[in-house]
Amino acid sequence: MDIYTTVKNRILHLLGEKNMSIHKLAMESAVAPSSIKNILYGKSQNPGIVTLKMLCDGFGITLVEFFDTEEFRNLEQEIK
C-alpha cells in the first residue's frame, strides 16, 4: 500500500472510530471540509504535516498516535 492510501484509510478509520462526519472534523480541526474531501477523494495526494497535525487535533489524538499503526509500520520505502 502507498503512503497516500495509508493516510486516507487512517483518516477514514478515525472518522468511523470517533463517529465523526467530515463536517464535524472540519469544525473541530479548522481544516476546510473541501480540503478534507480532497485528501479522501484523491485530489490532494500529499497533505502537509501541518494539515495532518490540525486533523489530529480535531480527532483529539497526537501525530504519534496517527502514525502508530501496523499499516504505517509496514510501508515500503518510497525511493528504492
Residues contacting residue 25 through CB under 8 Å, at least 6 positions apart: 15, 31, 36, 55, 58, 59
- DSSP H helices in 19-60: 22-29, 33-40, 49-59
**So what CATH class is 3-73?**
mainly alpha
- Whole-angstrom distance, CA of residue 24 vs CA of residue 71: 25
Domain regions of the chain by residue span: 3-73
- Whole-angstrom distance, CA of residue 78 vs CA of residue 62: 24
Mean pLDDT of 10-21: 98
> pTM for this structure?
0.92
Name the percent of the chain lying above pLDDT 70: 99
